[in-house]
Structure 1
Amino acid sequence: MARLFLLINIFILLLSQIDCRYADWEEVKPYCKIRPNPQCCASRDDDCFMPYYDSRCYCDNFCFRGIDNHDCCPDHDQVCQGINITATTLAPKPSGTCYDSFTNRQYALGDSFLRDCNLCRCQTLGFETKLSCDEDLCINSDVLISDYKTQQPYLGFEVKQYPKFNGVKVKDALKIYLGTLPDPSLRHMVDNAPDDPNEYHRMEEVNAYDVRTNPSYAGKIRGIRDQGKCGISWALSTVDVAADRLSLVQNIKLPNEPLSVQNILSCTDPEAKDGCEGGRVTYAWGFIKDRGVVTENCYPYESGTTGNITECKLRLSNEDLQNIAQHRKITNLNCPSRARGEHFNFGPAYRIRKDASSVKYEIHFRGPVQATMRVTPDFFLYSSGVYRCGGASYANQNPRYANLFGYHSIRLLGWGTQVNRNTHKEESYWIAANSWGTGWGENGYFHILFGECEVQDTVIATYGKSTDVLKKKNRRQ
C-alpha cells in the first residue's frame, strides 16, 4: 500500500512539472481575450469556447493543459490565469495542398473560397496542411431545405431558395433583413376598444376580409416595398401603416408619394435604433406624432443600398415644431432632395388587444395595422401557403444553429380561412405584407396562422391625423 501511495505522489509531481503551454510552433493569438464577457469561466462550462480553426478551444478552468491532452485556447494561461507567456518561435510553415471532398478540388496553401455563405481556407494546423471552413447556417443551405421537407406535411406551406439570399448567413440576415428590437413598453400602451360592441362580436362570424378589396378603400392601400440590406422594419411598417390610415380619413388628400422611412431612420434619437441592425417601434410612432414625416420624394430612402444610416438632413425650426403641436401642416420644407415634398403629422399610436376578434375589428373598420412577429430561419424560404413556426431539428446538428431568431414588423391587411389538410379542421390566417420586395413570397405578401410566431402579441395602429382625433373627441362630447 505504501508503494502505491509513493507511485501516486511521483505521478502528481511529474504532472506539476509539465509545461502547460502549447507547443513551440503555436502562435498565441487572442481567443479568450476577444470573447464577450465573461472572457473566462469558472469550473466547467461547455459554452465557454471560441472558434479555433475547424474546431473549438475553451476558456474555462476545466480544460486540461497537458502535453498530449489540451483543449484550452492558446491565450488561456495569459488571459485567464495571468501567466506571462513569451512570444513563441514558429516552425517553418509546411508546404502542401488541401483537398476539398465536396468538389474534388485541390487548393494551395493560403487559398480561400466561399462554400455558400461560409469561408474556407487552406491553412496549417500544427504541422498539417488542412482545409478549414466556417460552419454557420446559410439561408439557402440544403440543411434548411431538408429539415423543412421532413416537417412539410405538418406545416402546410411551401418553400424555395431565393437568389437574393445566396451567400447570406442566417445570423446576418436576422440583422439586416428584419430590424425590430424587442420593446416591452409597447405592451403597456393604451389600447383602443371597439366603438360598437355588437360589431366586435360579429367579427367572430366573418371568415374572410381583405382591406385591399374593400370598394371604399380602392387604390388607397400601399403596396410592397423592399427595405434592402438594412434592418428597418420597425420604421418602414410604421410609415406604411400610417400612410394607409391617412388615406382612409375623409377629406384627406392621398399623398402621391410614400411616406419617407429615411426621415425616421436618420432623424430619430440615437436611442431609437442600432444602425442597420434594428430599432424600436415606440420611437417610430412617437416621432411621427411629435415631428411628423415627409414624403419619399422629399427625403429618399438610401440605407437599403448603403447599409448604414446617415445623420439627419431635414431640420425643423421652432416655428415648424409649434405648427406640428397645433396640428398644422408645414409647407416651407427644405427637402434634402431639393424637390418639392409634403409633410404629415399623426395622432398618438395605440395598442390593439391581442385576441383575434379585436384585431379583425380594427382592420375591418379602421384599416391596416402593424404587427411584430418572431422570425426563424425557414421564414426566409417561404413561397406560399399558411406559414407557421416549425420545429428546428436543424439546431441539433450544430451548436451554432441554436437560438437563431429575430423580430420583424409587418402590416396585417385582412384574414381568411382554410381547411387543414392534415387535421381536416378549419383554421384562420392573417393576410400580411412583408418588406422584401415583390419577388419574395406571394408577390411580397404572405399568410400566417392566427396566433403563430407571437404575431398577435404586439399590434399597433394610429388615427390618420391629429386633427381627425380632435374632431372625433368633439363629436363624442
Structure 2
Amino acid sequence: MWRCPLRLLLLLLLSADLVVQGTRRGRRGRSRRDLAPGLHLRGIRDAGGRYCEKQDLCCRGRADDCALPYLGATCYCDLFCNRTVSDCCPDFWDFCLGVPPPFPPIQGCMHEGRVYPVWGTYWNNCNRWWRAGNHSAFWGMTLDEGIHYRLGTIRPSSSVMNMNEIHTVLGPGEVLPVAFEASEKWPSLIHEPLDQGDCAGSWAFSTAAVASDRVSIHSLGHMTPVLSPQNLLSCDTHNQQGCRGGHLDGAWWFLRRRGVVSDLCYPVSGHERDKVGLEPRCMMHSRAMGRGKRQATSRCPNSHVHGNDIYQVTPVYRLGSNEKEIMKELMENGPVQALMEVHEDFFLYQGGVYSHTPVSHGRPEQYRRHGTHSVKITGWGEETLPDGRTLKYWTAANSWGPAWGERGHFRIVRGANECDIESFVLGVWGRVGMEDMGHH
C-alpha cells in the first residue's frame, strides 16, 4: 500500500503565497469553507468538466466569490482552494496552474446533457457497465506513477508477438458452457492473487500465478505450490529489469530451464515506491538440468521454511486470439496468461464488466497515457443488460491485492479484444514426473 505523502512541484511553487494566505486565515478563524469535505472525497468529481476555463475565471489569493455552481455544490477557482483536500473546480489545476490534479483524475460522463459522476453505477451510462471508485493504495498517485510502478510487462518484440499460434479445434457439435470458472472445476488448485505492490513486476507475478495453477492441475493436486514471483524478480536477470519491468518470454524460459521455488520459501520483498531499483541479489539457484520436483542448491531465504523444491514447466505456447479457442484451452488445461493495455480508468475499477471508456479523449497527454500489463484469465460468463442485450466477459486475476476490484479479480468484455486482452494469450504445462505423483 502506498502511504507516501503527496509531493508536488506545485506546492513548492505556491508555498510562499499559501503561507501568507494561511497566516491571514489563522487570524480570521476557521470558516465553513475550510471545514467542508473536499469535493473529490464526496465522490462528485468531474475531471472532464470545464468550469474555470468556461468562465475564464482564475483568481489570485482568497476570493470567496471566485466560485461556480458544481453538481449541487460549489467549487472555487482561486489559489486558496489549492489544498490536498480540495474544493477546487475540476479544471482549476490544469487551466489555472498548468499542472495535473494532485489526485488520480476520476472522470465524469456526459449523457443526454447531464454529467454523471462515476462513483456510482448508472445503467446506460455512456454504455458503461462497471463501477469506478478511489482505492487507498493509489491515493495521491499520478497516472504516470501508476503506469510506472503498478504494471511492468514490456510489450514483446515483433518476433515474439509473431510466434506460431497453437490452434485448438472445437469438435463437431461441441458447445462451450455459457459460464466457467477454473476454481469451480479445480477447487483448491486455483490460487488467490498476490500483490505486486510498488513493483513494476507484473511480468513475474502473472507468470508465477499461471504456473502455480497449471503445476497444481497437471500434477492432479499432488503439488499445489504458490510459486515465488520474487525468485523470478531477483534471479531472472538476463535482459530483465526486476521491479522496473520484464519480458514474458524470458520469464517462461527461466521457469522451464531453471525453475522456481514456492512463495513460502522465497517470499516477496517489500517494495517502496521511492526506492525501487535493482532487485535484492538472487538467494536461490537451481541446476540447469533435470526435470520435475527437485531441490534448490541453497536453503530458503525464509529461515522458517525448509521445503526448497524447484518447480518447472514445459515450453510456453501461444493460443489463437479467437475467444472460443481461449475458452476451450482454459476449460481443459487451466488458467492462461494474457497481455493487456491498462488505461487511466482501469486503476479506478471496483466491479462489474470493464471496458475502457475514452472520456479523456482530447485532454492533455498526461491524462491519456497507458501501459502494458499481464494478468491471469480464470474463466468467463455473460450478463443480460436491462435493454435485453447480452454482455460477454472474461474473469481474470490481477496482482494489485485483494482490496482492488472484485477481491483482486476483475471482469472484462469478451470477444472484442478489449484492451488487447485477446491479442497475446499464453498457456503452459507443468513439468511433472512420475516421481512427483507418488506423494503430496
State whether residues 193 and 408 of structure 2, in contact with CA within 8 Å, keep that contact through their aligned partners in structure 1: yes
2:37 corresponds to which residue? Answer: none
State whether residues 244 and 277 of structure 2, in contact with CA within 8 Å, keep that contact through their aligned partners in structure 1: no
SS in 2 for 1:175: helix
1:37 corresponds to which residue? Answer: none
Q: 1:442 to 1:328 in 2, by over 3 A?
A: closer
State whether residues 376 and 389 of structure 1, in contact with CA within 8 Å, keep that contact through their aligned partners in structure 2: yes
Supply the distance in 1 between the matched residues of 2:245 and 2:296 (Cα, whole angstroms).
31
Cα shift at 1:440: 1.1
TM-score by length of 1: 0.65
1:248 corresponds to which residue? Answer: 217
1:32 corresponds to which residue? Answer: none
2:265 corresponds to which residue? Answer: 298
State whether residues 329 and 345 of structure 1, in contact with CA within 8 Å, keep that contact through their aligned partners in structure 2: no
Task: Give the total of aligned pairs.
Answer: 348
2:166 corresponds to which residue? Answer: 192
Structure 2 residue 105 is matched with structure 1 residue 141? yes
Q: 1:309 to 1:115 in 2, by over 3 A?
A: farther
1:390 to 340, 344, 357: 357
**Percent identity, aligned pairs only?**
26
Structure 2 residue 235 is matched with structure 1 residue 267? yes
2:136 corresponds to which residue? Answer: 163
Q: 1:328 to 1:228 in 2, by over 3 A?
A: closer
Supply the distance in 2 between the matched residues of 1:348 and 1:100 (Cα, whole angstroms).
65
Asked which structure has the greater CA Rg, the reply is 1
Structure 2 residue 419 is matched with structure 1 residue 457? no
Supply the distance in 2 between the matched residues of 1:181 and 1:135 (Cα, whole angstroms).
28
Please list the CA deviations of residues 234-292 of structure 1 after superposition, one character each: whole Å capped at 9, or x if unmatched. Answer: 1100011001000001356224x52111111111125222x533221111111101110
Supply the distance in 1 between the matched residues of 2:223 and 2:97 (Cα, whole angstroms).
53
Q: 1:264 to 1:175 in 2, by over 3 A?
A: same
2:125 corresponds to which residue? Answer: 152
State whether residues 215 and 432 of structure 2, in contact with CA within 8 Å, keep that contact through their aligned partners in structure 1: no
Supply the distance in 2 between the matched residues of 1:413 and 1:457 (Cα, whole angstroms).
16
What is the CA RMSD across the aligned residues, in angstroms? 3.4
State whether residues 263 and 312 of structure 1, in contact with CA within 8 Å, keep that contact through their aligned partners in structure 2: no
Cα shift at 1:463: 0.3
2:187 corresponds to which residue? Answer: 218
State whether residues 174 and 405 of structure 1, in contact with CA within 8 Å, keep that contact through their aligned partners in structure 2: yes
Q: Tell which has more relative contact order, 1 or 2 (C-alpha 8 A, sep 6+).
A: 2
Give unmatched runs, 5+ long, in structure 1.
1-51, 55-94, 119-131, 472-477
Cα shift at 1:228: 0.6
Give unmatched runs, 5+ long, in structure 2.
1-8, 12-18, 22-59, 64-75, 89-95, 110-114
Structure 2 residue 327 is matched with structure 1 residue 364? no
SS in 2 for 1:152: coil
Supply the distance in 2 between the matched residues of 1:144 and 1:179 (Cα, whole angstroms).
28
SS in 1 for 2:145: helix
2:149 to 160, 170, 176: 176
2:61 corresponds to which residue? Answer: 99
State whether residues 262 and 303 of structure 1, in contact with CA within 8 Å, keep that contact through their aligned partners in structure 2: no
Larger displacement relative to structure 2 (238-247 or 263-272): 263-272
What does 1:53-68 align with in structure 2 at a 5 Å threshold? none
Cα shift at 1:315: 4.8
SS in 1 for 2:193: coil
State the AA in 1 paired with 2:197: G
Supply the distance in 1 between the matched residues of 2:103 and 2:397 (Cα, whole angstroms).
21
1:307 corresponds to which residue? Answer: 276
